[in-house]
Every structure is written in C-alpha cells, then in structure tokens.
C-alpha cells in the first residue's frame, strides 16, 4: 500500500526523472536503460494525474528511442505504446489511433512477433476505435486480436482474452446484434472462469455485462443472479467509486425495482449520486472531465429512463444534464460565463481563454502527428508554440482568478434543478432536452413553466447513427458548396 501512495509515487517519479537525465548526459549510457527509465517516469507522471507532462515526456521518450535504437526496436515500440496509452487516458483518441496504427504496421513486419504481443496491440487499437464510435471497424480488429490470443497457452495477463471477448461483444451490441452480443458475453464469462477464477474484477465485469443485457431483454430473475455474483466480488476488490462497481450497483437497484421491490429505486439513485459527485469533481480537471462524462453517460441515461418510469421527472431532468455533462462543461460553461459577465472585460477574458484552450489542444495534436511521422523540425516548432500558448493560458487564468473570483462558481458546473428552470422560463416558452441512450433510443423531456413531461422514444437499431451521419454530411457539403447543397 505504501508504494501506491501519492508521496511515494512522487519520490519514484523524481528518481525516474533523475535516472533519465543522468542516462542522457553520460556518454556510455545504454539507450535501452535510458528508454526504460523514461517510460517509468511517464507512467508515474500519469499515475500522479500530471497528464500533460506525461504526454510530452512520452513523445520525448519516443524521439529518443527512435534516434538511438531505431523504429523497429522493442524499446521504441514500447515508447509508442506508452504514448498511445497516455493519449487515450485524456480522450485524445484520434492521436492515439495514429500511434497505434504505426505500432501495428511495425509489428506486422517483424518475423519474430509473438501472437500474444500482436493480439495485445490489436486489442488496444480496437478499444480506441470503440471509444470513437467506430464499431464496425473495431469489430474486425478485435476478432483478429481474439483469434491470435485463443492460440496462446500462457498469457501475460490471464484476463486479456476475456477482455477481448467482452469488448467484441460491445461492438456487436452497438451494431444492433443483441443475440450475438449476449452469446459473446457468456463466452467471456466461461473464458474468465477458466483463466482467472471467480474472484477477479474482470470476471465480475463479464457478469455485469451479461446481467445488463438480460435485464434489458426482460429476463430479470436471471439478471439478478449474475448481479449478486458481480457485486460480491466488486465489493471486495474495487473502490466504492470505481466505475464498474457503480454500474453494477445501478443495475442491481433497477433489477430490484423490476422484481417488485420499491426500495430498488432508492438504491439506483444512491449509485447515481456517487456518479454525480465523481463527475462534477472531475470538472475541475478539464483534461479528464469530458472523458469521464463520455464514459459515464450511459449510466445517467439509464437512470433517467428509470426515473421517468417512476414519474420522477425532476430526477430524470438532472440525470439527462449529467449525461450531457461533457458538452456542458466544454461549451455551455463558457457560454454561461460570458452571459453572466458583469462587464465587457470579463466577457472578453473568458472568450479569450476558450480560444486559447482550443488552440493549445490543436497544437498538442499537431505535435503528436509530428512525433508519429518523425519530423523533428516540426516537433521543435510545436514545442515553442505550445510553451507560448501555455504561458498565455496561465497568465489569463491568473487574471481571471484575481479580478473575477465569483467566476470560480462556474468552473464547477452543477446540473440545474427542474424547479429553478421552470421559474426562469417565460410563460410562453418551453425547453426541449433530448439525449440518446447506448441502445439508440432517445430520452426526450419537455419543460414549461407549469409542467414537465418525459418519454423514452424507441428507435430502430442504428437509426440515430444514420440520421447523425446524414446531418454531418449535409454540413460538410453545405460548407463546400452552399448554393447547391443546403443544410439538411
């Protein structure tokens, strides 16, 4: 436990940083040792929550390894993998995907590549594609990864085959093939029972995924059995705020309610209250808040549906806002801040900060592309631009905190209470709020000054995806040729 403490990680990070610096300074240092120390430093930075530093040092580590050991060395590929993991951690999936494609291309050229190694890289790549909503492409990649891992006798991670099967099940489910997904979750449970035993968190995760699908198909009694097994393991092995555990707690409350136990709603709401606190607290870290919001959105929409079934429209209204929290955090909060500005100077300052933050994100993406393609001059230019952008953001943030301290309340946005919104609405105004569920169904809420209604609209599988694609295509065409391609 002591080795996992923050203070100990800080000391280890300082040691890894020093080892890296010494290795780079002495003439006879082995590049392999320097690369290992550097990757350790990156990992510890990430564990300490210093995400941006971790990404920058992962990029620097990759450049060092390429220069001293070549692109195809195990150490260089390891540095690429560390970089892609750091990028994924903060939701920079497009950049992570580019790095992972390069890893797989390198590994494919290695005649000595073990099936297990390639399977792990393919599995990571498939997970990145899934995070971007690219289910069909992710399915192809995950099937390749699983086919390789099935042949491995002694795996480095006994739960990895099960993870691949779970993720494959999710990609199939996202494409509307529920029966096939259910079969894959059952297969994952069988594999994990054999490979990890019945006390492993991934085994419990498989139980939870299976229970969720059974619950959605009306097989509540069978779902309850799987949820009880999952909860028993998670309560022993996972922190009370762990995302998997909270998901299972929410599902268990829903299953209780559907089994006739009225206390189930309170149990589900208790799990969502923890989710709410975790999400809003994360908003203080802009790198992670939107990512956490995307990861947890399905739980908030699920609870919103349950709340509407119970006639608790106020609960559903807040849950739907939390499901959209990433958008609220990144766009709505800035808009509210400008609206709330007491002076034009505050409006200009908040707008400038938003612009600067967007520019910094673009510069970071450009640096990653330059690192991936090995363009050293572009990396150096990007470093200088990023440093200037950071300095500007820091200066403006300090001004904001000093000159407008009341703005701090908007840095931690809370969902609006239904009653407060109703009071604010004009007599002839209405608010329509919609949000999709992972199933493709849509939750819609209509709020007026005196009443509030909510429904879950069932849609055919993939219908919403098709409409979204059509809308985006019309935007692209209208931007290119507005005269002949009007916005849909």
pLDDT in tens, 134-149: 999 999 999 999 999 9
What confidence category does residue 284 fall into, taking pLDDT thresholds of 50, 70 and 90?
very low
The per-residue pLDDT for range 153-186, each reduced to its tens digit, is 777 789 999 999 999 999 999 888 999 999 999 9
45 touches 90 (CB < 8 A) = no
- The CA-atom distances, in angstroms, between 191 and each of 51, 161, 177, 178, 472 are 34, 7, 21, 20, 41
Classify residue 416 by its DSSP letter: P
* pLDDT band per the 50, 70, 90 thresholds, residue 1: very low
Q: How far apart (Å, rounded) are the C-alpha atoms in residues 143 and 309?
A: 38
pTM of full prediction above 0.95: no
Q: Choose among 57, 109, 65, 108: nearest CA to 85.
A: 57
Confidence (pLDDT) at 410: 58
Query: Residue 480 has what pLDDT?
Result: 82
- pLDDT for 287 equals 55
Per-residue pLDDT of 334-361, as tens digits, reads 444 454 455 777 777 777 776 777 677 7
- Say what the pLDDT of residue 46 is: 77
Q: How many CB atoms lie within 10 A of CB 420?
A: 8
Kindly list the distances between the CA atom of residue 481 and the CA atoms of 131, 471, 475, 488, in Å, as whole numbers in the listed order. Answer: 32, 15, 10, 13
Instruction: Grade residue 411 by pLDDT with cuts at 50, 70 and 90.
Output: low
Task: Work out the pLDDT band at 227, boundaries 50, 70, 90.
Answer: very high
Average pLDDT estimate for 214-243? 91
| Mean pLDDT of all residues belonging to the chain | 85
3-class DSSP string for 68-130: HHCCCCHHHHHHHHHHHHHHHHCCCHHHHHHHHHHHHHHHHCCCCCCHHHHHHHHHHHHHHHH
Alpha carbons 375 and 50: distance in angstroms, whole number: 26
Query: For residue 448, which phi and psi values (nearest 5 degrees)?
Result: -120, 180
User: Is the alpha carbon torsion for 340, 341, 344, 349 positive or negative?
Assistant: negative
**Does the pLDDT of residue 376 top 90, yes or no?**
no
Q: How many CB atoms lie within 10 A of CB 292?
A: 21
**Paired residues of 444 in beta bridges:** 434, 455
CA distance linking residue 131 with residue 110, whole number of Å: 28
Long-range residue pairs from 180-185, CB within 8 A, at least 24 positions apart, any chain? 181/213, 182/210, 182/213, 182/214, 182/217, 185/209, 185/210, 185/213
- The token pair that represents 426 in the structure block: 């004009």
327-341, 358-372, 463-477, range with greatest mean pLDDT = 463-477
pLDDT at 404: 74
Nearest 5°: the CA angle 426, 431, 436 is 170
| CB count in 10 Å sphere of residue 97 | 19
- What pLDDT sits at residue 407? 64
Helices assigned H by DSSP within 132-159: 135-150
Q: In the prediction, which pLDDT does 306 show?
A: 96
Q: Is a pLDDT exceeding 60 seen at residue 2? A: no
């Amino acid at each position: 436990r002591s080795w996992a403490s923050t203070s100990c990680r800080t000391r280890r990070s300082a040691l890894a940083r020093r080892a890296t610096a010494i290795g780079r300074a002495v003439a006879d240092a082995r590049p392999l040792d320097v690369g290992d120390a550097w990757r350790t430093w990156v990992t510890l930075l990430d564990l300490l929550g210093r995400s941006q530093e971790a990404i920058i040092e992962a990029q620097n580590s990759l450049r060092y390894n390429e220069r001293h050991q070549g692109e195809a060395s195990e150490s260089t590929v390891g540095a690429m993998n560390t970089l892609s993991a750091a990028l994924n951690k903060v939701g920079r999936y497009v950049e992570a995907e580019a790095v992972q494609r390069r890893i797989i291309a390198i590994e494919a050229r290695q005649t000595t590549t073990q099936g297990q190694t390639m399977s792990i890289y393919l599995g990571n790549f498939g997970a990145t594609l899934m995070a971007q909503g690219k289910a069909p492409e992710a399915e192809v990649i995950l099937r390749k990864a699983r086919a390789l891992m099935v042949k491995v006798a002694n795996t480095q991670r006994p739960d990895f085959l099960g993870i691949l099967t779970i993720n494959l099940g999710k990609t199939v489910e996202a494409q509307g093939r529920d029966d096939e997904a259910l079969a894959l979750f059952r297969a994952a449970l069988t594999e994990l029972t054999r490979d990890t035993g019945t006390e492993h968190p991934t085994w419990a995760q498989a139980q939870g995924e299976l229970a969720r699908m059974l619950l959605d198909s009306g097989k509540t009694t069978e779902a309850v059995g799987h949820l009880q097994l999952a909860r028993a393991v998670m309560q022993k092995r996972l922190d009370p705020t762990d995302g998997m555990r909270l998901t299972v707690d929410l599902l268990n409350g829903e299953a209780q309610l559907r089994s006739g136990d009225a206390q189930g709603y309170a149990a589900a709401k208790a799990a969502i209250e923890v989710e709410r606190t975790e999400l809003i607290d994360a908003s203080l870290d802009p790198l992670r808040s939107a990512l956490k919001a995307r990861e947890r959105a399905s739980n908030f929409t699920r609870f919103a549906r349950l709340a509407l079934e119970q006639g608790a429209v106020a609960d559903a209204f807040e849950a739907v806002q939390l499901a959209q929290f990433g958008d609220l955090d990144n766009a709505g909060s800035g808009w509210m801040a400008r609206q709330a500005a007491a002076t034009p100077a505050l409006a200009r300052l908040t707008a400038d900060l938003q612009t600067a933050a967007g520019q910094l994100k673009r510069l970071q993406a450009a640096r990653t592309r330059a690192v991936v393609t090995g363009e050293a001059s572009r990396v150096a230019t990007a470093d200088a631009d990023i440093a200037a952008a950071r300095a500007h953001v820091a200066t403006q943030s300090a001004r904001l905190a000093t000159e407008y301290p009341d703005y701090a309340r908007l840095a931690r946005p809370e969902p609006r209470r239904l009653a407060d919104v109703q009071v604010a609405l004009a007599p002839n105004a209405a608010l329509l709020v919609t949000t999709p569920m992972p199933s493709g169904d849509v939750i819609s809420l209509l709020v007026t000054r005196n009443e509030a209604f909510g429904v879950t609209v069932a849609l055919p599988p993939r219908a919403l995806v098709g409409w979204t694609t059509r809308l985006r295509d019309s935007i692209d065409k209208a931007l290119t040729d507005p005269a002949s391609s009007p916005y849909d």
